[in-house]
Amino acid sequence: MWFLEFLRALHERLSPTTYLEIGVGDGSSLALARGRAIGIDPHFALTRELDGDVCLVRTTSDDFFATQQVADRTRGLPVDLGVVDSAHLFEFALRDVINLERCAGPRSVIVVSHVLPRSVDDAARTQHTADRAGDAFRLTEVLRRYRPELLVLPVDTAPDGMLLIAGLDPTSTVLTDAYDAILAEYRRPDPQLVPADVLDRIDAVPARRLLESGLLAALADRDSDDPTWRRGVRDAVVACAGPAFVGTLR
Protein backbone atom coordinates (compact mmCIF):
# COMPACT_ATOMS: atom_id res chain seq x y z
CA MET A 1 0.00 0.00 0.00
CA TRP A 2 1.34 3.43 -0.92
CA PHE A 3 1.90 6.03 1.79
CA LEU A 4 -0.70 8.41 0.37
CA GLU A 5 -3.34 5.68 0.31
CA PHE A 6 -2.61 4.83 3.93
CA LEU A 7 -2.71 8.50 4.91
CA ARG A 8 -6.12 8.78 3.26
CA ALA A 9 -7.30 5.88 5.44
CA LEU A 10 -5.92 7.63 8.53
CA HIS A 11 -7.97 10.73 7.75
CA GLU A 12 -11.09 8.63 7.19
CA ARG A 13 -10.68 6.56 10.36
CA LEU A 14 -9.34 9.22 12.74
CA SER A 15 -11.42 12.17 11.43
CA PRO A 16 -8.95 14.75 12.77
CA THR A 17 -10.44 18.14 13.62
CA THR A 18 -6.99 19.69 13.20
CA TYR A 19 -4.19 18.58 10.90
CA LEU A 20 -0.63 19.85 10.55
CA GLU A 21 1.64 18.76 7.71
CA ILE A 22 5.37 19.46 7.42
CA GLY A 23 6.39 19.08 3.80
CA VAL A 24 3.50 20.04 1.51
CA GLY A 25 5.08 19.46 -1.89
CA ASP A 26 2.40 19.49 -4.59
CA GLY A 27 -0.44 19.38 -2.04
CA SER A 28 -1.52 15.77 -2.68
CA SER A 29 -1.51 14.81 0.99
CA LEU A 30 -2.72 18.16 2.31
CA ALA A 31 -5.76 17.83 0.03
CA LEU A 32 -6.90 14.87 2.14
CA ALA A 33 -7.65 17.08 5.16
CA ARG A 34 -11.27 17.86 5.96
CA GLY A 35 -10.82 19.82 9.17
CA ARG A 36 -8.60 22.79 9.99
CA ALA A 37 -5.31 22.14 8.14
CA ILE A 38 -1.89 23.79 8.34
CA GLY A 39 0.76 23.13 5.71
CA ILE A 40 4.38 24.14 6.29
CA ASP A 41 6.90 24.06 3.45
CA PRO A 42 9.39 26.70 2.21
CA HIS A 43 9.16 25.41 -1.36
CA PHE A 44 5.62 24.11 -1.87
CA ALA A 45 4.36 24.13 -5.47
CA LEU A 46 0.71 23.16 -5.49
CA THR A 47 -0.75 21.15 -8.33
CA ARG A 48 -3.77 19.96 -6.35
CA GLU A 49 -6.81 22.05 -5.45
CA LEU A 50 -7.19 22.52 -1.71
CA ASP A 51 -10.86 22.65 -0.81
CA GLY A 52 -11.22 23.38 2.88
CA ASP A 53 -10.03 25.36 5.88
CA VAL A 54 -6.34 25.43 4.95
CA CYS A 55 -3.52 27.66 6.11
CA LEU A 56 -0.31 27.50 4.05
CA VAL A 57 2.93 28.82 5.50
CA ARG A 58 5.96 29.17 3.22
CA THR A 59 8.76 28.65 5.73
CA THR A 60 10.82 25.91 7.33
CA SER A 61 9.32 23.97 10.21
CA ASP A 62 12.11 25.17 12.53
CA ASP A 63 11.28 28.81 11.78
CA PHE A 64 7.55 28.17 12.06
CA PHE A 65 7.72 26.60 15.51
CA ALA A 66 10.27 29.19 16.70
CA THR A 67 8.19 32.22 15.71
CA GLN A 68 4.55 31.18 15.76
CA GLN A 69 2.04 29.69 18.15
CA VAL A 70 0.32 26.68 16.62
CA ALA A 71 -2.71 27.29 18.83
CA ASP A 72 -3.25 30.61 17.03
CA ARG A 73 -3.62 28.65 13.77
CA THR A 74 -5.80 25.88 15.25
CA ARG A 75 -8.10 28.20 17.20
CA GLY A 76 -6.75 26.88 20.47
CA LEU A 77 -7.23 23.20 19.66
CA PRO A 78 -4.46 20.57 19.83
CA VAL A 79 -3.20 19.03 16.60
CA ASP A 80 -5.08 15.75 16.20
CA LEU A 81 -2.96 14.43 13.33
CA GLY A 82 0.52 15.60 12.41
CA VAL A 83 2.57 14.42 9.44
CA VAL A 84 6.33 14.84 9.00
CA ASP A 85 7.27 14.49 5.33
CA SER A 86 10.08 16.99 4.95
CA ALA A 87 13.89 16.92 4.78
CA HIS A 88 15.07 13.32 4.87
CA LEU A 89 17.51 13.81 7.74
CA PHE A 90 17.32 12.31 11.20
CA GLU A 91 17.81 15.51 13.18
CA PHE A 92 15.09 17.35 11.23
CA ALA A 93 12.61 14.52 11.78
CA LEU A 94 13.47 14.44 15.49
CA ARG A 95 12.98 18.18 15.90
CA ASP A 96 9.68 18.05 14.01
CA VAL A 97 8.39 15.28 16.29
CA ILE A 98 9.47 17.23 19.38
CA ASN A 99 7.69 20.37 18.16
CA LEU A 100 4.56 18.53 17.06
CA GLU A 101 4.25 16.75 20.39
CA ARG A 102 4.22 20.13 22.17
CA CYS A 103 1.05 21.11 20.33
CA ALA A 104 -0.60 17.69 20.47
CA GLY A 105 -3.21 16.30 22.79
CA PRO A 106 -2.85 13.06 24.76
CA ARG A 107 -4.71 11.18 22.02
CA SER A 108 -3.12 12.81 19.00
CA VAL A 109 -1.21 10.84 16.36
CA ILE A 110 2.02 11.76 14.58
CA VAL A 111 3.13 10.11 11.35
CA VAL A 112 6.71 10.29 10.06
CA SER A 113 7.46 9.22 6.48
CA HIS A 114 10.66 7.75 4.99
CA VAL A 115 11.66 5.55 7.95
CA LEU A 116 12.13 2.25 6.04
CA PRO A 117 14.94 2.73 3.50
CA ARG A 118 15.19 0.07 0.81
CA SER A 119 19.01 -0.01 0.71
CA VAL A 120 22.10 1.59 2.20
CA ASP A 121 22.18 4.02 -0.73
CA ASP A 122 18.52 4.86 -0.02
CA ALA A 123 19.45 5.68 3.59
CA ALA A 124 22.22 8.13 2.68
CA ARG A 125 22.22 11.57 4.24
CA THR A 126 23.70 13.01 1.06
CA GLN A 127 21.60 12.12 -1.96
CA HIS A 128 23.43 10.31 -4.74
CA THR A 129 20.53 8.29 -6.19
CA ALA A 130 17.30 9.33 -7.91
CA ASP A 131 15.29 9.00 -4.68
CA ARG A 132 16.25 8.54 -1.07
CA ALA A 133 14.68 7.99 2.32
CA GLY A 134 17.61 9.40 4.28
CA ASP A 135 18.53 8.44 7.84
CA ALA A 136 15.21 9.18 9.55
CA PHE A 137 14.99 5.43 10.23
CA ARG A 138 17.05 6.10 13.38
CA LEU A 139 14.06 7.87 14.91
CA THR A 140 12.38 4.55 15.71
CA GLU A 141 15.20 3.35 17.96
CA VAL A 142 15.57 6.75 19.62
CA LEU A 143 11.88 7.00 20.53
CA ARG A 144 11.76 3.46 21.85
CA ARG A 145 14.83 4.08 23.99
CA TYR A 146 14.06 7.55 25.32
CA ARG A 147 10.26 7.44 25.30
CA PRO A 148 9.26 3.82 26.00
CA GLU A 149 5.81 4.99 27.13
CA LEU A 150 4.90 5.89 23.54
CA LEU A 151 3.37 3.69 20.90
CA VAL A 152 6.06 3.65 18.18
CA LEU A 153 4.87 1.53 15.29
CA PRO A 154 6.70 1.22 11.93
CA VAL A 155 4.23 0.57 9.11
CA ASP A 156 5.19 -1.07 5.81
CA THR A 157 3.99 1.40 3.18
CA ALA A 158 5.49 2.10 -0.23
CA PRO A 159 7.93 3.39 -1.06
CA ASP A 160 9.83 4.15 2.19
CA GLY A 161 7.52 3.22 5.05
CA MET A 162 6.20 5.36 7.86
CA LEU A 163 6.25 5.58 11.64
CA LEU A 164 3.03 5.95 13.64
CA ILE A 165 3.47 7.56 17.06
CA ALA A 166 0.73 7.79 19.70
CA GLY A 167 0.30 8.12 23.46
CA LEU A 168 1.86 11.60 23.27
CA ASP A 169 2.60 13.88 26.20
CA PRO A 170 2.88 17.59 25.28
CA THR A 171 4.52 18.33 28.65
CA SER A 172 7.44 15.94 28.14
CA THR A 173 10.92 17.48 27.82
CA VAL A 174 12.83 14.18 27.62
CA LEU A 175 13.77 14.47 23.94
CA THR A 176 14.56 18.17 24.18
CA ASP A 177 16.79 17.66 27.20
CA ALA A 178 18.63 14.77 25.53
CA TYR A 179 18.74 16.28 22.02
CA ASP A 180 22.49 17.00 21.87
CA ALA A 181 23.37 13.59 23.32
CA ILE A 182 21.03 11.87 20.87
CA LEU A 183 22.62 13.58 17.86
CA ALA A 184 26.13 12.83 19.13
CA GLU A 185 25.28 9.12 19.33
CA TYR A 186 22.92 8.56 16.41
CA ARG A 187 23.93 10.96 13.65
CA ARG A 188 26.51 9.19 11.49
CA PRO A 189 28.33 10.02 8.24
CA ASP A 190 27.60 8.04 5.09
CA PRO A 191 27.49 5.18 4.37
CA GLN A 192 24.80 4.50 6.93
CA LEU A 193 24.74 1.23 8.85
CA VAL A 194 21.12 0.16 8.40
CA PRO A 195 19.94 -2.81 10.51
CA ALA A 196 18.84 -5.84 8.51
CA ASP A 197 15.42 -5.85 10.18
CA VAL A 198 14.86 -2.32 8.86
CA LEU A 199 15.96 -3.15 5.31
CA ASP A 200 13.89 -6.36 5.32
CA ARG A 201 10.97 -4.60 7.05
CA ILE A 202 10.77 -7.31 9.68
CA ASP A 203 10.20 -4.62 12.29
CA ALA A 204 7.15 -3.20 10.50
CA VAL A 205 3.44 -3.96 10.42
CA PRO A 206 1.85 -4.45 6.99
CA ALA A 207 -0.38 -1.47 6.30
CA ARG A 208 -3.46 -3.51 5.41
CA ARG A 209 -3.16 -5.63 8.54
CA LEU A 210 -3.15 -2.46 10.64
CA LEU A 211 -6.19 -1.09 8.82
CA GLU A 212 -8.06 -4.35 9.35
CA SER A 213 -7.29 -4.31 13.08
CA GLY A 214 -9.08 -2.25 15.70
CA LEU A 215 -6.14 0.04 16.34
CA LEU A 216 -7.33 3.10 14.44
CA ALA A 217 -10.79 2.80 15.98
CA ALA A 218 -9.17 2.75 19.42
CA LEU A 219 -6.98 5.74 18.62
CA ALA A 220 -9.97 7.65 17.19
CA ASP A 221 -11.91 7.35 20.45
CA ARG A 222 -10.71 10.78 21.56
CA ASP A 223 -13.98 11.78 23.24
CA SER A 224 -13.99 8.90 25.67
CA ASP A 225 -13.18 9.66 29.32
CA ASP A 226 -12.73 5.96 30.01
CA PRO A 227 -9.40 5.49 31.86
CA THR A 228 -9.02 2.11 30.13
CA TRP A 229 -8.53 3.83 26.75
CA ARG A 230 -4.82 3.04 26.64
CA ARG A 231 -5.52 -0.57 27.51
CA GLY A 232 -7.76 -0.76 24.45
CA VAL A 233 -4.99 0.69 22.30
CA ARG A 234 -2.48 -1.78 23.73
CA ASP A 235 -4.81 -4.70 23.03
CA ALA A 236 -5.32 -3.52 19.45
CA VAL A 237 -1.56 -3.22 18.89
CA VAL A 238 -0.96 -6.70 20.26
CA ALA A 239 -3.65 -8.07 17.95
CA CYS A 240 -2.18 -6.55 14.78
CA ALA A 241 1.54 -6.42 15.54
CA GLY A 242 2.42 -8.37 18.67
CA PRO A 243 3.39 -7.39 22.22
CA ALA A 244 6.89 -6.20 21.27
CA PHE A 245 5.43 -3.10 19.58
CA VAL A 246 3.43 -1.76 22.50
CA GLY A 247 6.05 -0.15 24.69
CA THR A 248 4.69 0.66 28.11
CA LEU A 249 2.05 3.07 26.70
CA ARG A 250 1.25 4.46 30.13
The C-alpha atoms of residue 117 and residue 137 are separated, in whole angstroms, by 7
Domain assignments of the chain as residue spans, ordered by start:
3-245
* Confidence label for 51 from pLDDT (cuts 50, 70 and 90): confident
**56-77 pLDDT tens trace:** 999 999 999 999 999 999 999 9
pTM of the model: 0.93
Alpha carbon distances (Å) from 31 to 34, 36, 51, 124, 137? 8, 11, 7, 30, 26
Work out the average pLDDT over 216-243.
76
The C-alpha atoms of residue 171 and residue 231 are separated, in whole angstroms, by 21
Who has greater pLDDT, 33 or 130? 33
The C-alpha atoms of residue 117 and residue 108 are separated, in whole angstroms, by 26
Work out the average pLDDT over 157-176.
95
CATH entry 3.40.50.150 includes domain 3-245: yes
Who has greater pLDDT, 240 or 208? 208
The C-alpha atoms of residue 75 and residue 134 are separated, in whole angstroms, by 34
Beta sheet of 18-22, edge-to-edge order: 54-57, 36-40, 18-22, 79-84, 104-113, 162-166, 151-156, 205-206
**86-127 pLDDT tens trace:** 878 999 999 999 999 999 998 899 999 999 999 999 999 998
* Confidence label for 237 from pLDDT (cuts 50, 70 and 90): confident
Say what angle helices 138-146 and 179-186 make with each other, to 10 degrees: 140
Work out the average pLDDT over 197-205.
92
The one-letter amino acid code at 113 reads S
Does residue 250 surpass a pLDDT of 60?
A: no
